[in-house]
Structure 1
Amino acid sequence: MTVLHLADDGEAADLAAFLSRLLRYDRSAAVRLQAAGTALAVFGRPPSFEVLAIRAVRLAKPYEDGLDVTLDVTVSAGELLESVDEQAATAAVPGAVTGPPWAGVLPPRGGWRAEPGLPAPQALRATVAAAVGEFRSRTEELAPDARTRAALDRIGRDIWSRTVGGTPLPVRAVHAAQSLGFLRPDDEAVLLSAGAWLRLRTPFGSIAVRRAGLGALDVSVR
């Protein structure tokens, strides 16, 4: 079994927290792991947000048991979480699973450039709070027999597809960042772009989204 040695117990706790939040949205969630050297990237896709969530984890040393250079595998998020030992700062890589379609659609590793116009984190959090409040008020205004899934989805698409400030970043990406614990009041947030991808990066993780969405007809596979 491949054992990942994380840099410290804080890295292990942060990884466990990220996996727990993903599982809160999808109990059968899968994550794709990519590692080289002492850097591990964990990719997940929480349902309904239509984004990719990326948590970078520092490793104390690359691997055990025969893995020499890189790791690239899709596994069960729940099984990975169960294997995290925060005190020992280790995690055992579970067996591979058949990856969901999004696992073959990842942002590029390089070529990112800064995009201007992103509001400060406090303003981003206020934007999310206002959007959540608007969603609640608009759904409450619907008659009970009109409060269908289709109606709720239409309201959600209208609100969460709006862009933030003067940027092309959709509000749903900021909502995802806050919900997954990436967006905190006093920490820097940066908006980056590479081709069709946008990336909201904070010290705690990144949210990536394609400008035209993540549909199967508009993807780059690697």
Structure 2
Amino acid sequence: MRLTFPDGETLADLGTYVARARSLEAEGAIRLQAVGGVLAAWVCVVPGQGLTGSGTVLGLRTMALAGAHDLDVTVALAAMGDRFARRSANGEAGTTLEVPPAEVSPRWAGVLPPRGGWEPVGTVRITDLLAAADDGIAEVAQGAPEGAGAAAVGMLRAQVWARDVLDAAGTPTGAPAGAGLAARALGFARAGDLRSVSVHRQGAWTRVSLPAGYVLSRGAQGMA
């Protein structure tokens, strides 16, 4: 399995994305969906709870490919990181990447959001998203003392990152705080950017469209 990119910069961009995702979860995974000349790369920022994956927060980065592709695999971020480290160590300058052969099956990869049917529900300022991320990171750190059980930490994270981001007037924007975490950690937005970005919804899913990627979050089943 291999992916061919139009230039080295695009391939390096994927490497940066993989490194950022690994900073969130070193043992995480990435789903690579390549159709025609476009690659969609999915990673999990916040794992969901229960059978429906409520609270799941996913990052999506799309990028161009050279030539036609047909690929849909989920592989370990560590294996992808090894590929890029080896390229760097060997001074490889090509634009083709060999995808790791061993696939993994994280639960989130089987509950991706729908492609169509999205309806606009509002906008959110990037500064408000990033502020929510900073507040959430601090709350999780303070509320999860050393030695806390995995279940307790997971519940706290789910509560914090599911909260609605508020605007300057204290009005809910429709975007969850987890979208801010993804925006900051994955490099989808920069501090100081004063723009507002769109928020869409489809069923239980919310999508925030950022300058360098998308964040998709799953709320409670049946959420309007």
Q: What range is the shorter-chain TM-score in?
A: 0.7 to 0.9
1:93 lines up with 2:99 in the alignment: yes
**When the two structures are superposed, what TM-score results if normalisation uses the length of structure 2?**
0.75
Map 1:28-47; keep pairs closer than 5 Å.
28-47=27-46
- Deviation digits for residues 12-41 of structure 1 (CA, Å, limit 9, x no counterpart): 122111111222232322211111110011
Structure 1 position 174, deviation (Å): 1.4
CA–CA separation in structure 2 for the residues paired with 1:80 and 1:153: 26
Cross-structure match for 2:71: 71
CA–CA separation in structure 1 for the residues paired with 2:68 and 2:216: 26
CA contact (8 A) 1:198 1:208 kept: yes
1:81 lines up with 2:81 in the alignment: yes
Cross-structure match for 1:110: 116
Cross-structure match for 1:56: 62
CA–CA separation in structure 2 for the residues paired with 1:71 and 1:105: 18
1:203 lines up with 2:211 in the alignment: yes
Read off the aligned partner of 2:173 and give its amino acid letter. T
CA–CA separation in structure 2 for the residues paired with 1:7 and 1:123: 35
SS in 2 for 1:28: coil
Cross-structure match for 1:164: 165
Structure 1 position 46, deviation (Å): 3.2
CA–CA separation in structure 2 for the residues paired with 1:135 and 1:25: 14
1:189 lines up with 2:197 in the alignment: yes
Read off the aligned partner of 2:208 and give its amino acid letter. L
- Deviation digits for residues 105-129 of structure 1 (CA, Å, limit 9, x no counterpart): 111122223221x331122222322
Aligned with residue 122 of structure 1, among 122, 127, 134? 127
CA contact (8 A) 2:179 2:208 kept: yes
- Note closer, same or farther for the CA distance 1:79–1:158 as it changes in structure 2 (3 Å cut): closer
Structure 1 position 209, deviation (Å): 1.1
**When the two structures are superposed, what TM-score results if normalisation uses the length of structure 1?**
0.76
CA contact (8 A) 1:5 1:62 kept: no
Map 1:117-156; keep pairs closer than 5 Å.
118-135=123-140, 139=143, 148-149=148-149, 156=157
- Deviation digits for residues 161-184 of structure 1 (CA, Å, limit 9, x no counterpart): 320132332212211221111122
- Deviation digits for residues 66-104 of structure 1 (CA, Å, limit 9, x no counterpart): xxxx21111222222333457323211221413112111
CA–CA separation in structure 2 for the residues paired with 1:153 and 1:76: 21
1:24 lines up with 2:28 in the alignment: no
Read off the aligned partner of 1:4 and give its amino acid letter. L
CA–CA separation in structure 2 for the residues paired with 1:151 and 1:4: 40
- Deviation digits for residues 168-208 of structure 1 (CA, Å, limit 9, x no counterpart): 32212211221111122326532121222111121311111
CA–CA separation in structure 1 for the residues paired with 2:196 and 2:34: 25
CA–CA separation in structure 2 for the residues paired with 1:30 and 1:212: 24
- Note closer, same or farther for the CA distance 1:126–1:42 as it changes in structure 2 (3 Å cut): same
Structure 1 position 152, deviation (Å): 5.5
Read off the aligned partner of 2:219 and give its amino acid letter. R
The structure where strand makes up a greater share of residues is 2
- Note closer, same or farther for the CA distance 1:153–1:74 as it changes in structure 2 (3 Å cut): closer
